[in-house]
Amino acid sequence: MKRQVSIGLAVVLLAAVVVAIIMGSGDDDPPEAGLTTVRGVGGSEKAAYFADQRVVAAFAKHGLKVEFDSAGSRQIATTVDLAPYDFAFPSSAPAAQKIQQDRKVTKVYTPFFSPMAVATFAPIADLLTAHGVVRPGPTGDYQVLDVAAYLDLAAKGTRWDQLPGNTAYPARKNVLITTTDPRDSNSAAMYLSAVSFVANGNAVVSSPEAEAKVLPELTRLFLDQGYTQNSSEGPFEDYLAAGMGKTPLVMIYESQYLDRQGRADGSIRPEMRLLYPAPTVLSKHTLVPLQGRGDQVGQLLTTDQELVRLAAESGFRTSDPKVFAQVVADRKLTAPRDLVDVVEPPSYETLERLLDAVGKQYK
């Protein structure tokens, strides 16, 4: 009898151990277990947002695990194989329009956007103010870079050490804004959009005649820089790490600067400044749903309040301006509430012709 009791007790204990192991193993399962994977491709400036664990958790609440690959907006619209992806998320409205037309998609989402801006340093901003290139914005809470005045200096091939009274930055190189490679990167395309507007007599380039008129000046603005990087993260990281000596003026997305400033990690130092070109253009991050749950991702980015707030905390201006304004106030960021001098980029076809023409001059 005792032997039977012992065997029975052993069986019970073994069963309890098995149950405990099974129940315990559930606690160690990866958090994405049971989630539907959604794949997207978009600009590199959004990679940090999708990698943010708070964003990952917010999507998980809706049963989604979003995998995000980075590519240039031009590449997404022309050369990237979109077959494996559920959504495309270029940083350019013209590129999104091209994808929408090619894939016959009827609905797109623009959950956030970012003005193009120029990252610089206080001595450079003061120097350019003295020469009429930088001035206060209309509301007085930010500074603008006058694109027409800048183009005048660039057209003359003016070097920094040729600016009268310049003791702050007497470098023997041309006064030029550092951009990315126009053959690959959307931020370079947005820069081209703003300068082409001014070079065309303050009008959007929309005809072959206008293209031919502005092309020599646009080409010089890029080629005279020398080597350019193919991602907007590259020159911005140079700005943060190498300082004024290497990149006195760099074209970036406003969101990049505000994201770093909001982290309060010391990467944005007191002598750093953010200028807004006049005119500037908006980089409209436009999601094109392609298949599967891509449409749900677009809806959530637009309507889910947690995802909207996290986008604002990443420096993006949201479709609900009150959210962005609140984040700016809470974090004491240096961002104007409204920008007045904003122009539209050329059509996708015109922009592509200009970029291709500039790109050919690199060979």
Q: Where are the domains of the chain?
A: 36-112+283-331, 115-282+341-360
Residue 156 sits at φ, ψ, to 5 deg, of -85, -5
Indicate the pTM of the whole model. 0.87
Which CATH number describes the domain made up of 115-282+341-360? 3.40.190.10
Reduced to 3 states (helix: H, G, I; strand: E, B; else coil), residue 222 is helix
Distance CA 173, CA 181 (A): 19
pLDDT confidence of residue 20: 42
Q: How far apart are CA 71 and CA 87, in angstroms?
A: 13
**Tokens 């200009």 sit on residue:** 354
Per-position pLDDT tens, the chain of length 363: 444 444 444 444 444 444 444 444 444 444 566 899 999 999 888 999 999 999 999 999 999 999 999 988 888 998 999 999 999 999 989 999 999 999 999 999 999 999 999 999 999 999 999 999 999 998 878 999 999 999 999 999 999 999 999 999 999 999 999 999 998 888 999 999 999 999 999 999 999 999 999 999 999 999 999 888 888 888 999 999 998 999 999 999 999 999 999 988 899 999 999 999 999 999 999 999 999 999 999 999 999 999 999 999 999 999 899 999 999 999 999 899 888 899 999 999 999 999 999 999 987
In a 3-state reduction of DSSP, which class is residue 283?
A: strand
- Please state, in angstroms and rounded to a whole number, the distance separating the CA atoms of residues 218 and 230: 18
Closest to 154 (Cα-Cα) out of 175, 172, 179, 168: 175
Helix (H/G/I), strand (E/B), else coil: 272:
strand
CATH of region 36-112+283-331, choose from 3.40.50.620, 3.30.365.10, 3.40.190.10, 3.30.413.10: 3.40.190.10
What DSSP string runs through 180-216? B-TTT-HHHHHHHHHHHHHHTTSS---SHHHHHHHHH
Decide: 88 and 288 in contact? Cβ < 8 Å. Answer: yes
Position 264 scores a pLDDT of 82
Cβ(44)–Cβ(231) below 8 Å? yes
Peptide bond between residue 279 and the one before it cis (omega within 30 degrees of 0): yes
Do 36-112+283-331 and 115-282+341-360 show the same overall fold? yes
- Which residues, in sequence order, are CB contacts of 319 under 8 Å at separation 6+? 110, 111, 112, 302, 308
Please report, in angstroms and rounded to a whole number, the separation of the first and last CA atoms in the chain. 93
